[in-house]
Structures are given as C-alpha cells and as structure tokens.
Chain A
C-alpha cells in the first residue's frame, strides 16, 4: 500500500477503477460478488479460499478514506506494525512469569488484574476489564467467545484463526475435553474444567501452572516457556515448550 504513490498514474487509475467496481458490486449484493471456486466444507471451515478481488476491494476503500482526508496512511501502517511486532502473546507471557516468581504480584494480579497487568505496561482496547483465571492441579480454565471472537488484545495480541473458527466456538462449551484432547491435553476425570464464554466486555487471561523442574529458571527464561495457547487454556506449559504458539 505504501508503494501506491510510486506507481505510474495510469496503473493506479486502472486499479482504482477496478477496485471501485468490485466494491460497488460487493456492497450492493454480497452473495453475488464472490468469485471463489474452492469449497472445502468437508473438513475445514476456516481456510476458505479468499476471493481474488478482496485485496482490490480493500485498496479501493482505503483510497477513498484517504482521499476524503479521514485516514492517514502512515497511521494505518503504524496500527498494523503494532499488532505484528509489539502487541502479542509475549506480553501475556511476561505477566505469567512475573506471577510465578513474585508472590505479591500474583496476589495483585488475581485481585485487580487490569491494574496488575497495566503495571507491566499492557493496557488498551479489548483489555479494559481483565479477569485472570488461575489453573491448578484440580481446576483447568478454558476461554472461548462463542458469539464472536473476543480476546484480550493487550496481553495476547490478535487471536489465531482457530480461536475465531466455527469448530472452536461451537465445541469449546459443549465438548471442552474433546477440544483439549485435540490440542494434546487429556485431562483426568477428577480435574474440573471451567469454560469461560466471553459474552461481555470482560476479557480473560489464563494463568497456567508453573511446570515442575523450573525452579532454577529466571523470570525471563520462564516467560520464554509460556505459550499463547496455555494462556487461552487449551494447553499446559511444559518445561520444554519454548516460545512458540
């Protein structure tokens, strides 16, 4: 998008016209505007083929809003960059690791989660009113949003596709243990599973159990073990997990 200005005028004009036509068709009649051909309904609803004109439609809308003086392109870039590089699950991992090493912080985190998370600098949209759910050997917490895709952006960033998908949203409440098994977590019957459906503006962060055998690790090394999925509650933290999802 940032390259738009460097494109020859003719090329840009062509793109704009094509995109505007697509946008018009799209708004007028959404069901007819999708030229997609790749249906894969048998096993997988979240990886549908994206219609080829989507990028053009977005470009057309962006151009219109920029030309109207409503949007600054550099601000768009800054928002994208923030969520791609700054606001993500490493934030939540630092909260968890701090809670593991600092008993006073853990206490504050459970008593006033929004303030305790803000102590580490994580505030903002979709994290205004936080609740922290502490896992234990006998209680396992799992977070979902069945109605849309509510997720605690300041601590976990933007949600992964599976979290927003129909399979997860439909099944997490009726078959949480089955969903957890698909994530490789087979919980014994005597563990209580608590599912939290994010129906309001309260946002949930799971505080996973600190894995055994990590007494020697620094706070930073512990944070590196904490995964995004463990803070949603679909997995546990293992001493070998190391930084990925």
Chain B
C-alpha cells in the first residue's frame, strides 16, 4: 500500500537525532510489549511476519507518524491476538477472560526462552523455482501500486537497476501477509544508481541496493 510507512526519499522529517547511551527500552512497558509480541507467536494461532508488518502499515498515517515504534506495536498486539484466535474482541474490551472460558497452559516457560530466541526460522525455502533473472542482468522495478502489503518501495518503482546477486528462494510478502500462500520465488539484490533514483544532482558514484522478489521486476 502507498502508506506513510513507505518513507524512503521523503523530505521534511527533520534531522536524525542520536541519543547517547540509549537504553534498550526507554520505558518498562516497551519491553513488555516487545516480549508479549514475541511470545504470543509461540504455539497456537495463524500469524507471520508479513501479516505483522501489514497491521502496522494500516495504522492511520497521522497516528503512525505521531506514535513511537513501540506504541505502534501496542496498537498491533490486541488486533493480532484477536486475529490469531487467542483472545476474543469482547475479552479485549472487558480486559478479562470470558466467564467459563478454558484456561490454557503457557506454551513457553522462562527456561525455554533462550532456545526460542536462538532458533533460526528462515523465510528462505529450499524449493526449486525458476529464476527469471540472473546476476548482472538489467531489470526494471515494476510500476505497480498494490493496495495491500508490499515490500517494493515507491521510490524504486519504474526504475532501472542491475541484479547484483540472486539470494535464493524466499516467501513472497505480498501474498503471505494476507495468508494467501507463501508463493516462494527468487529474491535478488538489485543495485540502483543514485542518479537513476534521485536525478542528476545525486552522486555519480553512489547507489542503493534493494532486495526484490521476482514478481517486483520486469525485463528491460
């Protein structure tokens, strides 16, 4: 979706403010939101990383810009647990389990946390899918404007680039975000010159690399 989250190249956001000796979490609640979001993924309920990003992207733009990072996570969490079927909207509204509802047993104890954190859950898929492009090939990022989730930023659409590397086959976010299938396909590192993206005033040496799926690219 052409949302405000797709910020690459926007102006007017101000200087980058660097905080010295920044804590991992500025408030206790930030750590709780982070940990809750990690832990509700363990066990029952359908969810994936793309669905999670899509929820954040659908926060109304003015709200999105005003909120801190973990406030956005907090908006997502109740929506997520309801969609996962872990909790009902009525329970969110009342703040208490529905009368007579069964109490589950937590899937993950503290002792299991280190293993959970270290577990490698890649979205790379070891399946044979034909690669449309190869390293060194000129490609164009499609001029498409999906209204759903996509990982093709606006600033690259319609631009010419060069495939720097085929990274292998990965889950396709656009369909995965809406549980329409993983549609695994080749992912490429694509190099765009700064001038192609930003015009003649950009440095002739500089470039931006994006990781783009087959479906985002077309032949030149």
Contacts and interface: CB of A to CB of B under 8 A. Distances in A.
Residue from B89, B106, B173 whose CB has the most chain A CB atoms within 10 Å: B106
B95 A197 contact: no
A72 B40 CA distance: 10
Nearest to A16: B95
A65 interface: yes
Contacts of A158: 24, 34
Interface in B134-178: 151-153, 155, 167, 170-171, 173
B95 A19 contact: yes
Residue from B53, B79, B96 whose CB has the most chain A CB atoms within 10 Å: B96
Interface string A173-203: 1101101001100000111111111111110
Contacts of A245: 18, 20-22
Contacts of B62: 31
B8 A64 contact: no
Nearest to B4: A166
A241 B107 CA distance: 43
Given A44-B17, A77-B110, A166-B65, A125 B117 contact: yes
Contacts of A192: 205-207
A63 to B, nearest CB: 7
B153 A68 contact: no
Interface string B165-195: 0010011010000000000000101000010
B124 A129 contact: yes
A28 B203 CA distance: 48
Given A61-B36, A123-B120, A55 B29 contact: yes
B40 A70 contact: yes
Given A30-B60, A245-B20, A72 B108 contact: yes
A42 B17 CA distance: 13
B7 A169 contact: yes
B97 A169 contact: no
Contacts of A83: 24-25, 31, 34
Contacts of A87: 117
Interface of A: 1, 16-17, 19-21, 23-24, 26-28, 30-31, 34, 36, 42-48, 50-51, 54-55, 57-65, 67-72, 74-80, 82-84, 87-88, 114, 123-125, 127-129, 131, 144, 146-149, 154, 157-158, 160-162, 164-174, 176-177, 179, 182-183, 189-202, 229, 244-245
Given A47-B17, A195-B208, 8 more contacts: A20-B93, A26-B75, A58-B33, A67-B96, A68-B103, A70-B40, A124-B119, A183-B18
